[in-house]
Amino acid sequence: MIERRSFDGGVRVSVLGVGCGRVGSISNPVPMREIKATLEAAVEAGINVFDTADIYGQGDSERTLSRLLRRYRDRMFVVTKVGGCYGRHSRIIRLTKPLLRTMVRSKPQARGAFMRARTAVVSHNFHPPDLLRAVDGSRHRLALDQLDGLLLHNPSLETLHNPEIHDLLGEFLHSGRVTHVGASVASLLEVEAALAIPMLTILQVPVAVANALVGTVILDDIRRRNIGVFVREILTGLRPGAYPLREIVSAAIAPDFITSAIIGLSTRQHLDELLWAIS
């Protein structure tokens, strides 16, 4: 039985969450049928947190989760992120994805070049009308009237302090588009800025930033408001087998203020290894 932890007055989520950043990605060599089977196995195992974003897989990550949601709506808590964008060429990339995926698989050296090129064209747009369209786009792709969790995706300090953004997030809640709002940030300074958003109930941070919260007044505020802390980048930079997986994952979820650890996976083997690590 996977442990569950609560935030925001009783929302219960699994301490292990599935990162869906590579679901639908051109660079992912795992066949989609295997990815879908792995996601279903994760739900059946008791995982209910699934983390995605509108730009992941040019929207195909959200579309894939929508098919799972049809069967397991009451057993899934989906968090999606908005604010990132690929620009006007993203539709062309999605339409030519089968060809691009074949090319990347047949030429492994092309994968790195593609990843660098994709990263180079990612930009951010937190203009309120565009954020509104992004949220409605995610609702459409996920086939949900109301999103479980919505995060600003790597917002700047200026964005986090912007009263217009605060008002917009409040409107998302008031209109019923979203149940919980928050931010995915990368530093203690950004965490502090995000906490200025009155209605924020979810923070997503790298595990190193979460560890740096210990003993700070920032953490006191997080505890007082019962904010969910979702940690990411648990295995980033680690060579496979270099460190015991059980120790790494156990350390990530050991602090009682950590709500869920988000780890990307595509294969059943990886899922089984992670389930073993938290057993």
**Average predicted confidence (pLDDT) for the chain:** 90
Structure tokens at 41: 């196995």
DSSP β-bridge partners for residue 205: 231
Q: How many Cβ atoms are within 10 Å of 250's Cβ, its own excluded?
A: 13
What does pLDDT average to in each consecutive run of 10 residues of the chain (279 residues)?
Answer: 94 97 81 94 98 93 97 98 78 57 58 52 88 97 98 97 98 98 98 98 98 97 98 86 86 97 94 94
Express each pLDDT in 12-55 by its tens digit: 999 999 999 999 777 778 888 999 999 999 999 999 999 999 99
11: CB partners within 8 A, 6+ apart: 77, 180, 228
- Please, are residues 77 and 18 in contact by the beta-carbon 8 Å criterion? no
Taking the CA atoms of residue 88, residue 93, residue 94 and residue 99 in that order, the dihedral angle to the nearest 10 degrees is: 160
Q: What is the pLDDT of residue 227?
A: 98
Q: Are strands 49-51 and 200-206 parallel, antiparallel or unpaired?
A: unpaired
Question: Looking at residue 95, what is its pLDDT?
Answer: 58
Domains of the chain (ranges; CATH) run 4-88+123-277 (3.20.20.100)
> What token pair was written down for 159?
């964005």
What percent of the chain clears pLDDT 90, i.e. is strictly above it?
77
Question: CB neighbours (10 Å) of residue 171?
Answer: 13
pLDDT at 68: 97
Enter the pTM of the model: 0.88
pLDDT at 213: 98
